[in-house]
Amino acid sequence: MPDETLTVTDNRTGKNYTLPIIDGTIKATDLRQLSVVDGDHGLMAYDPAYLNTASCRSAITYIDGDAGILRYRGYPIEQVAEDATFLETSYLLLEGELPTATQLASWTEDIRRHTYVHQNVKKFLEGFRYDAHPMGMLLGAVGALSTFYPDAKHIDDPTNRYLQRVRLMAKVPTIAAFIFRHSRGLPYVLPRNDLDYIGNYVNMTFEIGGRHDPNPVLQRALDLLLILHADHEQNCSTSAVRSVGSSHVDPFSAVSAGIAALYGPLHGGANEAVLTMLDEIGTKQNIPVFIEAVKAGKGRLMGFGHRVYKSYDPRAKLIKTVADDVFAQTGLNPKLEIALELERIALEDPYFVSRRLYPNVDFYSGLIYQAMGFPPDYFTVLFTLGRLPGWIAQWEEMLNDPEQKISRPRQVYTGPEVREFVPMARR
Ligand code: SDX
């Protein structure tokens, strides 16, 4: 058995150090012993944007970026997507095991009982302009929930944490639907307990005149899309939830930090940015000029590339199959043709191939959401609904991890050396 250690020589002192290798990592704090003079801080690891730093141990999601593998609690995403519902998947992520029928019924019933929001939330939402970006509204509204449930501060009480996770899973779709209605100047539609999770959300969103005739194919497609977005290890927004949650703030505030991070066009906002890009390209004939501009560094091919996947994002593959089902119901989204040609050209172009840039989860999802009747600026709200159980599961895992404490990275200081203050008269 090879010795799981790393021996390094500090050439500044000629000293050798042997550092244990655990799970393919060395502990950054072990570098502190590499010091030059007694009492100095020793060495730190420098890793801007955490390109090669494990921030935690997690048992929730496994990704192999080279092989294009994604598993939730060990189950391949292809099987979960095929056989589970979103609520079943949320239970798996949160509890670590697939639920029995009784457990799923209890989880579903708990959520069903908490779908209403305080009437004041409506007043809060009405304070936004008619054209407020839905993610800005969601960010504000979910953070505001912490003021309605001050008991959520008791994060050390597992029973209380369970109540807050139920409130989040139940109320965020209601708020999301209210935001959709606000953007259209339509009256809010209240939750209905006779509908399932997806059916209730779709009804609150699209009901007109007391009616919405559900399309089971579209509802299953939305259920599947939420499954595909449910968790993705330590991505930007999950890291935000963990970092903010590490201060022991309530989960509504921690999740609102995740929403803020997801809003960005490099992250969850990419699905909206893809549609903007396809609109700018306009026709298949314009694709070569657009590609050349990207290669010249003028903008990015949105929906392409990934920090971890250096092969085709397995979720993008599954989303393409969902697209076929949706477009069979809604008619083909004319932008699909441009997206498919864009993908074909990019996957043959050395610029993208050499950088291992492939379609990610956001490349096709927006085309489907648009066909379902959602506007581009609302797509990332749907990403939020999917990622919510993953954020909550990661938040709880962080709180229960004895190795974790308040997140507080160090820095390399590059500012001026000490200097005397200059009074105004002498400036
Ligand atoms: C999500 O982390 C997750 O798991 C996220 C996510 C999740 O489920 O939580 O999977 C969801 O956020 C998916 C990604 C959505 N974002 C986009 O589609 C925006 C476009 N893609 C990128 O901006 C980019 O690919 C990132 C942000 C996704 C990843 O960026 P990295 O890993 O920091 O890579 P990089 O910016 O250092 O780029 C490496 C090289 C650069 O070229 P060179 O400097 O070497 O010449 O690749 C180029 C980049 O210019 N590049 C792109 C590109 N992405 C990277 N060039 C053109 N188009 C792109 N999309």
The CA 312 to ligand 1 mean position distance, Å, reads 13
Residue 213's φ and ψ, nearest 5 degrees, are: -85, 105
Q: Considering the chain, what percentage of its residues have pLDDT values greater than 90?
A: 92
Q: DSSP character for 418? A: P
Distance between CA 16 and CA 2 in Å, rounded?
A: 19
Ligand 1 atom having least distance to the Cα of 360: 13
Same domain, yes or no, for 163 and 252? yes
pLDDT at 311: 87
> Does ligand 1 lie within 6 Å of residue 304's CB atom?
yes
Q: Considering the chain, what percentage of its residues have pLDDT values greater than 70?
A: 100
The CA 266 to ligand 1 mean position distance, Å, reads 7
> Does ligand 1 lie within 6 Å of residue 315's CB atom?
no
Assigned domain for 119 exists: yes
C-alpha angle with apex 248: 110 to 145, nearest 5 degrees? 45
> Does ligand 1 lie within 6 Å of residue 235's CB atom?
yes
Distance between CA 145 and CA 42 in Å, rounded?
A: 44
Same domain, yes or no, for 364 and 379? no
Q: What is the pTM of this model?
A: 0.95
Assigned domain for 408 exists: no
Same domain, yes or no, for 298 and 314? yes
Place of tokens 């009074």: 423
The CA 363 to ligand 1 mean position distance, Å, reads 12
Same domain, yes or no, for 204 and 96? yes
Assigned domain for 426 exists: no
Same domain, yes or no, for 288 and 349? yes
Mutation to probe ligand 1, out of 93, 278, 312, 355 (largest number of atoms < 8 A from CB): 355
Same domain, yes or no, for 250 and 384? yes
pLDDT at 334: 85
Assigned domain for 61 exists: no
Assigned domain for 425 exists: no
Q: For residue 19, list its beta bridge partners.
A: 6
DSSP for 78-140? HHHHHH--HHHHHHHHHHSSPPPHHHHHHHHHHHHTT----HHHHHHHHTS-TT--HHHHHHH
pLDDT at 152: 97
Ligand 1 atom having least distance to the Cα of 303: 18
Same domain, yes or no, for 287 and 361? yes
Mean pLDDT of 375-385: 97
Distance between CA 393 and CA 398 in Å, rounded?
A: 9
Ligand 1 atom having least distance to the Cα of 306: 28
> Does ligand 1 lie within 6 Å of residue 357's CB atom?
yes
Mean pLDDT of 333-350: 91
- Residue 217: pLDDT above 90? yes
Q: Which domain holds residue 86?
A: 66-263+375-399
CA nearest ligand 1 atom 8, residue: 232
Model pLDDT for residues 135-157, shown as the tens digit of each residue: 999 999 999 999 999 999 999 99
Same domain, yes or no, for 358 and 385? no
Model pLDDT for residues 158-179, shown as the tens digit of each residue: 999 999 999 999 999 999 999 9
For residue 264, give both structure tokens: 């960005």
Assigned domain for 104 exists: yes
Average pLDDT, the chain: 95
pLDDT at 200: 97
CA nearest ligand 1 atom 14, residue: 267
pLDDT top residue among 174 and 322: 174
pLDDT at 332: 86
pLDDT at 1: 60
Active site residues: 267, 306, 362
Same domain, yes or no, for 198 and 82? yes
At 90, which CATH number? 1.10.580.10
CA nearest ligand 1 atom 15, residue: 267
CA nearest ligand 1 atom 31, residue: 307
CA nearest ligand 1 atom 32, residue: 307
Mean pLDDT of 27-32: 96
Mutation to probe ligand 1, out of 72, 231, 237, 300 (largest number of atoms < 8 A from CB): 300
Distance between CA 178 and CA 121 in Å, rounded?
A: 10
Assigned domain for 100 exists: yes
Same domain, yes or no, for 114 and 242? yes
At 339, which CATH number? 1.10.230.10
Single out the residue of 194, 202, 195, 192 nearest to residue 223, CA to CA.
202
Same domain, yes or no, for 108 and 148? yes
> Does ligand 1 lie within 6 Å of residue 267's CB atom?
yes
DSSP for 218-257? HHHHHHHHHHHTS--SS-HHHHHHHHHHTTT--HHHHHHH
> Does ligand 1 lie within 6 Å of residue 355's CB atom?
yes
Conformational region of residue 179, where left means phi above 0, alpha means psi within -120 to 50, and beta covers everything else: alpha
Q: Is the dihedral of CA 420, 424, 425, 427 positive or negative?
A: positive
- Residue 313: pLDDT above 80? yes
> Does ligand 1 lie within 6 Å of residue 386's CB atom?
no
Contact between 153 and 400 under an 8 Å Cβ cutoff? The reply is no
CA nearest ligand 1 atom 13, residue: 267
> Does ligand 1 lie within 6 Å of residue 353's CB atom?
no
> Does ligand 1 lie within 6 Å of residue 306's CB atom?
yes
Number of domains the chain contains: 3
Same domain, yes or no, for 100 and 206? yes
**Amino acid symbol at 274:** V
- Angstrom CA distances, 337 to 278, 389, 414, stand at 10, 33, 49
The CA 90 to ligand 1 mean position distance, Å, reads 27
Assigned domain for 256 exists: yes
- Residue 39: pLDDT above 90? no
What b/e string do you get for 310-347 counting C-beta neighbours within 10 Å, with b at 16 or more? eeebbbbbbbbebbeebeeebeebebbebbebbbebbe
Mean pLDDT of 171-197: 97
CA nearest ligand 1 atom 19, residue: 266
Model pLDDT for residues 94-136, shown as the tens digit of each residue: 999 999 999 999 999 999 999 999 999 999 999 999 999 999 9
Neighbouring C-beta atoms of residue 17, cutoff 10 Å: 16
Sheet architecture: strand order including 75-76: 61-64, 69-72, 75-76
Helix axes 335-348, 287-295, angle to 10 degrees: 50
Mean pLDDT of 45-67: 96
Instruction: Give the H/E segment covering residue 10.
Output: strand 5-10
Place of tokens 């050439």: 11
